[in-house]
Each structure stands twice: as C-alpha cells, then as structure tokens.
Amino acid sequence: MKYTIIFLLLPLVAFAQEFEFQQELDTIPIEIDGYQLPYPWLGGFALTNPALVDIDADGLYEMVMSNNKGGLYYLENDGTPQVPDFYIEEEEWQGIDLNMGLFPFFCDIDADSDLDLILETVSLPIYIYENVGTIYDPVFELLEDMVEDTSGTPIEGTFGDLVDIDGDGDYDFFTGNWYSCTISFYENVGDSSSYAFALVTTNFQGISTNGYKNYLEFCDIDADGDWDLYIGTDEGYIYYFRNDSVLPDYTFTCLSTNYLGEDVGDDANPEFCDIDADGDFDLFVGKGNEYDHNDNGDMQFWRNEGTMEVSNFVQENQMYLTFDIAGADEPDFVDYNYDSDMDLYVLYKYIALLSNVGNAEDPSFQVVDLEMVGSGFLASSNDYGDLNDDGDEDMVVAGGWSGIVGFWECDGDTSLPGFTEQTSIDVGCLLGSPALGDLDADGDLDMILSATNWSSFWNFYYENQGTPEHFNYVLIDSNFQGIYIDEGAVPSLVDFDFDGDLDLMLGGIGYSAVNYIWYYENQGTPEVPDMVLVSQDLLGLGEINTGYGVEFVDIDNDMDFDVFAGTEAGGIKFYRNITEHAEVGPKRPIGPPKYSIDSDLTHNPQQSLFTFTLPSPQNVTLAVYNLLGRKITTIVSGSQPAGTHSFLWNPSSQASGVYIIRLETAQEAVAKRVMVVR
C-alpha cells in the first residue's frame, strides 16, 4: 500500500494570543436509524418537556421547551404543515431566566385571541406571562409570579394542564400531587377574560398512578367532543383515561396503565399535536434521564398511523433533536476501521459506536450500535491506546465506585470492534478518569488516574515498566507534578502545541470550577515532563459544563485540536478550534532558531527525507512520535558532525494521522508536524 506524507509548513512554535473556540450544534451530522438529528451536539437534556404550539399564527407548530438553565428554547418550524423542520431560533426565549427547571404550556387565559404562557416549576411557584404582543409576534410580560387559588393559597403540585373541562368557555386548572400521584382540580369560577381558580378536590375522580409525580395532558384522542386524559409517570409509563361522559359532565375510565407498551425511561411527559396535518393527533414524549440508562433519547416521536377516532401510534424516533444517551457520557475518537478518519466511541452504561461515514476533512457520523460493549460501566471513565503493540486501540476503564481499573483488549474487526477484559488492578478508592500517554518517551503508554476518598484527592501517576507489547503499571507518584485534581477532574494527555511532548488538560475541575478546561503546558521534554499551568479557561467561553469526558481531536483535519465534551445530561458538546493557524499557542519569546528540520518528498512516495543542520559537532536524536507522546521510531541517534544531514523515514507500518518529528540536542529541541495519509 502506498502512503503519502504531507508536510505541515505552519510554524510549530507560534507567537500568538489566546486560543479561539466556538461551539457548534449542527455542523457535523449524526444519523440514527436513517434519521439525521437536527442538533446532534446540543449536549443532551436532563429532562425534556416539549410544548407544541402555533405561536406565530403561520399554520405550523413551533416547539418551546426548557433549556435546562432556567430559560426556554424556542424552535421555529421552517418546514410545511406535513413535514416539520425545527431549528433553534432562540436559546433564551423572551429573556426568561428563572434559574430553575421550567415546564411550559400555552392557552388564551384572558380571551384576547392570542396565546399566553404558563410556566410550572418543580413545585412552587407557578408563573403566568401575558402576551402583550400579537398573534403573529408574541411578547410575554410577567403577570403573576405566584398563582393562588381563590382562598389565597399558592397552587402547587407536579406538572399539570389547563383545559375547559366543563365546557363553560374558560380554562380550568389541573395539577398532579407529589407522592400520592393524585390530581388536584381547580375550577375557573371567573370567566374567560379574568380567571379565578377555586380548589374543588385534591383527589379528582379518584385517579392516581404509581410513582411519586405525574405529568398531565388532556387531548380529545377519539374525536368525540370531550377531553380524554393522559398521565405520564416518573417511572416512564403513560396512563390513558377515556372520558365516557358528554359535556358539561366528565367521567374518566382507565383503559391502560402502559399506553405505548413501553417504558420510555424516566419522567414520561406526553404532548399531542397533529404534526403532519393528516387530521389526527401525533405524540411527542418528553423524558428524563434514567440512572440505569435503559432507554436512550432526548424525546420520542410517535406517529399516529390510525385515524382521528381510532389512534395507532408507531414510534419513529428515539432521539428527535439531539444525540442523547440518557446520562453522563464520555466521548473518545478512534479510527477503528483504518479508513483514515476518526470514528466515535461513547462510554455510558454501555459503549456506543458511531462510525464516520464522511472523511477526515468533512466528518459525518452514523450510529452503528448503542450497546456495542458492556452494561456495567455506570459511573466509569475510560481511555484508549495500543497496550500490546498490535496496531489497534485497546481500552482502559476506571470503575468509579469499584476502585477497579480494567484493561480491555480490542479483539473485534474493522466491521464491528469488540473488547474483552484481560486483567485489572484494585486502586482501593473512588476513581475519576484515566489518561494514557507516553510520559517518559520509552515507547509505551503510561497512565494518569484521578481518584478520591472524598476527603483527599489524588493525581496518580502509573509508569508502564513493561514493554510496548506487555504492559506493567507501577504506581510512582500519588501527586503527579504536584497538580491538584479534585473530584470532578477529567485528565487528558495530548500534544496540544505540537512540540513533540505531551501536555495535560483537566476538564471539569470539581465544584470550584466545574465548567472550565485547564491547560498545563509541558515545558520540559518528552522524557522528563514539566507541566506548567498556562490557562484556566482554554476555550475562552466561560462556563460551559465540561465535567464529563473531555476529548481533544483534530476532527476537521486542519492541524489543530478541537474539543468534544460529554455532559451529565447524556449528550456531547462540540467546540471547533478556529484559532488562526499562524497563531496556535500562547505567546512565547521570539528568538532566532539555532536548529531546524527541513523535509521533502523523495521519489519514493512511501518514504520521507528529513534534513537538519548542526552548527557544531554534537550528539543528536531525530525521532518520530504520535500524538499520545509515544515514540514510534528513532531515525538517528548519536554523534553527528557539523553541517547538513539527511535521513529517510518509511511510515508504511503506521496508521494515517499526524506525527511529530523531533530533533533533540543537549542545547535545544525542535519539532515538525507531518501527516501520513494512506
């Protein structure tokens, strides 16, 4: 097989200002079961609660939902009545910021022909925002920040709905009750333009569900002119109660305690609308994260393939807006199929595999298997590296609660990789995250491991005292480089400045700075690192919630490191490095170079010629490293006379990717990046 070596002529040591990153939500596609997610890198949702409503009177349903930060996402529909196309118009809609989880729903509470906004919280208070704009351009102003009943008692409960249950022309209010999972009914004893809610009962029709909270949704599912009732539960099921009376009466009969025949995870939150304009109601199901990760997805979509009188719901999407695997996750990039682009592993309870069906410059991911390996990886973290020198990436897993570090051999193939645990070590405390890299330039992978017993925190350094083929990890230092890592830290080893040695990144610095990435530059050598803190906010974006698995990878093949961060909500955030290539690092002193490496392609495309000039006779080492800091080969080592010297390197046994060519003398070290392309 022929290889091409591309020489990267950008300066290795840059004279720059700060790095520049930007968050991108949809520039790299993810496809699952033939469906392309609109916002794959949104970061997931701890809880989704979609409200579908035509808020601007354009004949299309828009979506409003909590942004998990105390405000609201507003998703405009740019599609058609038959085929929606949602895009995020605003991430903090209407300037609402209440610093708590919000559950929106809409109705015309004051009979002025436009839709007003009601916001429920976990319990108290309930907010009402009046629409003081128009039906085409809504503007919401706070009307009440504590809705009370006619006795002056604040209305509280779980997550309810407003509906004209008795057909008298105004909206009555229903809300669930904590722990008993019964329903409180507040009749509107005012009128359509001036509401007044009077408590009628805290045990409406004797209805209750299992669990400790419920989510109410009224819908005339059988087109008989009255309101039927659906209740989602915290256990992930949906109850269906048919209304068997005729307005103004109502009598509810429970027909199903598992309406969809499926546990959606946690906190099933049903929302009906006719999203495809075929005359019947379709169903969106919001959901929460489930600790056991038994059901993935941000929200589910079920299309009604029945009629307006007799529904038949068929699930189309497990993930509707974004990639979300229902709990804290960790991304890692590995070219498992040797096609010269980076594929994606995601660790959660299982290991998911997403194959890159694009290319190195323009990636596009397709979900291959959400449960490729495992079922016992809860509260775990991992990293990948070739631990037996067989050319593929093996896996190290730190079991957070168990204190066990497991070493897994990659034993699958290029169509579907697999891993088998070979051995383990018991560290004897709670574990954070492992990071593999060759920290002493001896050709094998060493390990940094964060750990704690809640009162003390450690940054263990395990030296690999084995060989590239047979690892042997020996604890050398419980406080590597004197760097403090508290319980939220996620270490990564990467040659971020492309100078031939490994730097240290810490993501999620515990409770003191959970939303930042700290950058420790190695100002030592590949053999003897000296980690110096140069940035406490590498991305320069302020708080970004990167407390779970931070991965550095050149995803777009532009010769700098981009960042992917797993989140507690079960998604992944993507931050593209847009730093100018001529400015790829913090500012350093400018001085004339004493040594340099020149390079050129020879007539043989499988080899590369490297040339360097020495001002005086001396001992030199010219070696090749990968981005984990592992020495691939030594091209030349020993005494060389003054003058110009040229040596060949044949990369035919190496995978595609970026490599560092490092020239080292007693006085100075210089390096050059090259890319090997099959």
Domain edges within the chain: 20-44+337-369+555-591, 45-316, 597-676
With CA atoms as reference, report the closest residue to 215 among 237, 198, 187, 242: 237
Q: Is the pLDDT of residue 595 over 80?
A: no
Q: Is the pLDDT of residue 201 over 70?
A: yes
What region does 376 belong to: left with phi over 0, alpha with psi -120 to 50, or beta? alpha
Encoded amino acid at 606, one letter: Q
| Residue predicted with more confidence, 591 or 524 | 524
The predicted pLDDT at position 673 comes to 77
- List the structure tokens of 125: 């208070």
Fold of 45-316: Tachylectin-2; Chain A (2.115.10)
pLDDT band, residue 307 (cuts 50/70/90): very high
Taking domain 597-676, whether its CATH number is 2.60.40.2550 is answered by yes
DSSP secondary structure of 508-546:
EETTTEEEEEEEEEE-S-SSS--EEEEES-TTSSS----
The predicted pLDDT at position 69 comes to 83
Q: Are 169 and 192 in contact (CB under 8 A)?
A: yes
Q: Are 64 and 72 in contact (CB under 8 A)?
A: yes
What is the C-alpha to C-alpha distance for residues 340 and 658, in angstroms, rounded to an integer? 11
Distance of CA 421 to the CA centre of its chain: 26
Q: Is the pLDDT of residue 8 over 50?
A: no
Phi, psi of 621 (to 5 degrees): -130, 125
Work out the burial of residue 278: count CB atoms within 10 Å of its CB; fewer than 13 is exposed, 13-18 middle, 19 or more buried.
Answer: middle
What is the C-alpha to C-alpha distance for residues 265 and 13, in angstroms, rounded to an integer? 50
In the block, tokens 């070290």 appear at: 669
What is the C-alpha to C-alpha distance for residues 66 and 45, in angstroms, rounded to an integer? 9
Beta-sheet pairing, 140-144 with 183-188: unpaired
Average of pLDDT values for 141-167? 95
The predicted pLDDT at position 153 comes to 96
Average of pLDDT values for 438-463? 91
Q: Is the pLDDT of residue 425 over 70?
A: yes
> How confident is the prediction for the chain on average, in pLDDT?
88
Half-sphere exposure of 639 (CA within 13 A, CB side): 2
Q: Are 645 and 637 in contact (CB under 8 A)?
A: no
517 SS3 class: strand
pLDDT band, residue 291 (cuts 50/70/90): low
Q: Are 138 and 152 in contact (CB under 8 A)?
A: no
With CA atoms as reference, report the closest residue to 348 among 331, 323, 333: 331
Residues listed for the chain: 678
Average of pLDDT values for 154-170? 94
Work out the burial of residue 606: count CB atoms within 10 Å of its CB; fewer than 13 is exposed, 13-18 middle, 19 or more buried.
Answer: middle
The predicted-structure confidence for 65-92, as pLDDT tens digits, reads as follows 998 888 999 999 999 999 999 999 999 9
The predicted-structure confidence for 509-550, as pLDDT tens digits, reads as follows 554 445 688 899 999 999 999 999 999 889 887 666 655 688
Q: Are 597 and 613 in contact (CB under 8 A)?
A: no
* The model's pTM: 0.85
Q: Are 329 and 549 in contact (CB under 8 A)?
A: yes
Q: Are 45 and 101 in contact (CB under 8 A)?
A: no
Encoded amino acid at 532, one letter: V
The predicted-structure confidence for 618-637, as pLDDT tens digits, reads as follows 888 888 888 777 788 889 88
CA 472 vs CA 91, 190, 390, 462, 465: distances in Å = 49, 77, 16, 9, 5
